[in-house]
Structure 1
Amino acid sequence: MGPNNKDIVIFATKEDHQVPSKVKLPEPDPQPGLILPNGDINWNCPCLGGMATGPCGVEFRNAFSCFHYSEAEPKGSDCYELFKTMQSCMQQYPTLYNKDLADDDDMKSLGDVDNKVENKSEPQPPAATSSN
C-alpha cells in the first residue's frame, strides 16, 4: 500500500520482462495426509474423496473414527454396527456411492454375463455339413 492507503501502480517495460526474476518464493509447507502429525484424522484430506462431507458424512466419520482409534483385535472388530449404519446410508444414494462401479468395465462385463445366463436358450444342433 502506498501513502493514504492507496494502491501503487508500477509499470513494467519490455526490458523489465527480458531479465529473469530474482524473486525467491518460500518452499510450500508439506500438505498433511490422512493422519495429522498429532494422530488425528484429517477430514479435509483429498484422499477421502468427499466421503466425510457427503450425505452420509456423519456415518462415514463415525465408522472411520471408530476403526482408526480401535484397540480391538482384530482392529475395527468393535465397529461393525457403525459400518453397517454407514452402508445402510450409502445404499440410499446409489448414484452417488456406486458411481465407480457403474463406470467399471469389469462390472459391465459381469452384467453382460448375467444377461446371457438369464436369456440362455436351448443349444442348437450343429449345422448339417455336406460330405464330398
Structure 2
Amino acid sequence: MSYCKSYGKDKVIFVTREDHEKPSTIKLPDDPEDDRPGLILPNGEINWNCPCLGGMATGPCGAQFREAFSCFHYSSSETKGSECFEHFRSMQECMAQYPNLYPVDEEEGEEAALAPSRPEENARPEESHTVQDKRVVSN
C-alpha cells in the first residue's frame, strides 16, 4: 500500500514493489516553457533569439559570432568546423576590442600568453624564448 507524506514544500510518496511494477498513470501539468524553441529550430536553422546564446548574437561582435557559429553549425567537413578558422579568428579579434563585455577567462588568458601568435614561431626552437619574453607577468 502506497502513501504520501508532506514535509513543508516537499511531498514524499512511499510506494510498494507492486506499485513500481505497474505503468504510471500520473499526468504532469503542461509547462508553457516546453513550447519555446531551443538553439536549433525544428527546421534545422539556428534560433538567434535563444536565451542560451546570452546575447552573443546581438552584441558588438554579433555579426562575427553569427558568421562563426553558422559556419560551424552548417559545416560538413570531416573535422567539423575546420573550415571556420578565419571566422572564429575574426570573432576573437572583435571580442578583444571589448574586454569589458567579453572578459578573458584567467586560464584561457594564460594559455594565450604562452601560445605563439604565428605558426612560424613554432618552426625554430631558438626563437621560442622571444614569445615568453613578451609576456606580462603580474604579481
Provide the TM-score with structure 1 as the length reference: 0.55
Distance (whole Å) between structure 2 residues aligned to residue 65 and residue 44 of structure 1: 14
**Residue 61 (structure 1) aligns with:** 66
Q: Residues 35-79 of structure 1: CA distance to partner in whole angstroms, max 9, x if unpaired?
A: 000000000000000000000000000000000000012000000
Distance (whole Å) between structure 1 residues aligned to residue 31 and residue 63 of structure 2: 35
RMSD between superposed Cα atoms in Å: 2.3
Instruction: Flag the structure with larger Rg.
Output: 1
**Relative to structure 1, is the Cα distance of residues 27 and 87 closer, same or farther in structure 2, using a 3 angstrom cutoff?**
closer
Compare the two structures and name the one with the higher strand fraction.
2
**Residue 79 (structure 2) aligns with:** 74
**Relative to structure 1, is the Cα distance of residues 27 and 97 closer, same or farther in structure 2, using a 3 angstrom cutoff?**
closer
Question: Which amino acid in 2 is paired with 1:95?
Answer: N
**Residue 110 (structure 1) aligns with:** none
Distance (whole Å) between structure 1 residues aligned to residue 138 and residue 84 of structure 2: 37
| Offset, 1:115 | 4.6
Residue 38 (1) aligns with residue 43 (2): yes
Question: Which amino acid in 1 is paired with 2:98?
Answer: Y
Structure 2 SS opposite 1:53: coil
Return structure 1 stretches of 4+ with deviation > 6 angstroms. none
Provide the TM-score with structure 2 as the length reference: 0.53
**Residue 89 (structure 2) aligns with:** 84
Paired positions, count: 82
